C-alpha cells in the first residue's frame, strides 16, 4: 500500500521550527577566533628549593613581601613558617610562638593574614582540628586566633 501523502499545511508546520533554527544559526555575527596570549613563559625555569626545607605541605605567594613565598611544613617539624625567594633560596625561618605543629596540612593567604590548617590526621586519632590565623607584615608575625573546626 503506498504511503498517504502529507498535506501541504502539515508539512509547513513540521518544517517551520527546523527552518527557523537553520536561518537563525546561519545568520548572525561572524565568529572570530580569540587572540592567543601567552600567560606563562614558554620555557619554565627550574630552581632547586633550599635543602633546609624537609617537607613542604603548603605554599602561598606573599601579599606583603614582594617576590616571597611562605611555606609550612608537615608534622614532625617545628611550628614555623619558612620564607623563600622566588628562586627557592631561603629568606628566613619564623618560629610561631604559641602554636604547635601537630600536623599542618596547608596554608592560605588573604591580605596580610596567613591561615594554617591544623587538619592532618592520617590515623584518625585526634578529636579536634583547628585553623591558625597569623597577622604578618615585613617584620611582624603574630598568632591571632586558634579556632577549633569540630
Comparing CA positions, the residue from 130, 145, 73, 74 lying closest to residue 82 is 73
Confidence grade of residue 67 (pLDDT, cut at 50, 70, 90):
confident
Domain ranges of the chain: 56-148
**DSSP alpha helix (H) spans, the chain:** 8-26
What's the distance, CA 46 to chain centroid? Answer: 21
Mean pLDDT of 116-144: 76
pLDDT digits (tens, 9 = 90+) for 24-62: 555 555 656 666 666 666 777 777 787 778 888 899 998
Burial environment of residue 72 by CB neighbours within 10 A (0 to 12, 13 to 18, 19 or more): buried
Question: Which triple of cell numbers denotes residue 18?
Answer: 527546523
Give the model's pLDDT for residue 72.
93
Q: Measured at the alpha carbon of residue 62, what is the angle toward residues 59 and 64, in degrees to the nearest 5?
A: 160
Whole-prediction pTM: 0.62
pLDDT at 137 over 90: no
pLDDT at 126 over 50: yes
pLDDT at 20 over 90: no
Amino acid at each position: 500500500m503506498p504511503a498517504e501523502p502529507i498535506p501541504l499545511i502539515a508539512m509547513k508546520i513540521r518544517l517551520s521550527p527546523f527552518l527557523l533554527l537553520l536561518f537563525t544559526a546561519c545568520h548572525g555575527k561572524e565568529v572570530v577566533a580569540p587572540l592567543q596570549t601567552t600567560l606563562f613563559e614558554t620555557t619554565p625555569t627550574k630552581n632547586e628549593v633550599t635543602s633546609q626545607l624537609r617537607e613542604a605541605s603548603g605554599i602561598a605567594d606573599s601579599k606583603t613581601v614582594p617576590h616571597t613565598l611562605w611555606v609550612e611544613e608537615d608534622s614532625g617539624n617545628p611550628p614555623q613558617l619558612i620564607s623563600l625567594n622566588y628562586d627557592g633560596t631561603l629568606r628566613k625561618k619564623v618560629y610561631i610562638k604559641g602554636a604547635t605543629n601537630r600536623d599542618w596540612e596547608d596554608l592560605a593567604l588573604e591580605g596580610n593574614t596567613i591561615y594554617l590548617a591544623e587538619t592532618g590526621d592520617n590515623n584518625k586519632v585526634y578529636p579536634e582540628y583547628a585553623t591558625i590565623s597569623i597577622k604578618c607584615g615585613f617584620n611582624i608575625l603574630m598568632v591571632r586566633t586558634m579556632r577549633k573546626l569540630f
